[in-house]
């Protein structure tokens, strides 16, 4: 039986094993490769997507569990919050190797969608588990604060 959901604003129906991780369904079956495979254990954050607006680790979420829900990947991210985060990422030169950045951006957008004035502690909690091998955590925090200020202006 096909699994039906909305992906980046468009209806999708996939006739696949419902136990397949969402990440592989999106990457291999749909062809959107912006979300990355990092650890496969939901611990690094490279695979982060939004399901009904909430950040999830797609490497460990069975695609069958998202029936009827809205999934947003980095390719479908849009709106004022997304634009502010993306502009701040560029301004603060956050990305180095770039591998973790789609997950970092997705988590930052989720944070700022619900909290327009995050503290350092709020940022640490929201970004906890989003690993960056290049250790740009100071830049990430600065970019999130900058994006928040931009949205409030």
Measured between alpha carbons, how far is 88 from 146 in angstroms, rounded to an integer? 6
What pLDDT score does 152 carry? Answer: 83
| Domains of the chain with CATH codes | 3-76 (3.10.20.30), 80-152 (1.10.150.120)
Residue 98: pLDDT band (50, 70, 90) is: confident
Radius of gyration of the chain (CA): 15
pLDDT at 29 over 90: yes
Q: Could you give the percent of the chain with pLDDT greater than 70?
A: 100
CA angle 101/106/112 to nearest 5° reads: 120
For 46-85, the pLDDT digits (tens) are: 999 999 999 999 999 999 999 999 999 999 999 999 999 9
């Amino acid at each position: 039986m096909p699994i039906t959901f909305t992906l980046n604003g468009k209806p999708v129906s996939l006739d696949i094993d419902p136990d397949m991780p969402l990440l592989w369904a999106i990457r291999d079956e749909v062809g959107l490769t912006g979300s990355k495979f990092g650890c496969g254990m939901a611990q690094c954050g490279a695979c982060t997507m939004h399901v009904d607006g909430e950040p999830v680790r797609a490497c460990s979420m069975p695609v069958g569990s998202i029936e009827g829900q809205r999934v947003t990947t980095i390719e479908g991210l849009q709106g004022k919050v997304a634009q502010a985060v993306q502009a701040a990422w560029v301004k603060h030169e956050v990305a180095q190797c770039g591998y973790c950045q789609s997950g970092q951006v997705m988590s930052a957008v989720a944070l700022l969608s619900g909290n327009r004035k995050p503290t350092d502690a709020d940022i640490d909690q929201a970004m906890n588990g989003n690993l960056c091998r290049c250790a740009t955590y100071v830049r990430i925090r600065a970019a999130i604060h900058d994006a928040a200020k931009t949205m409030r202006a």
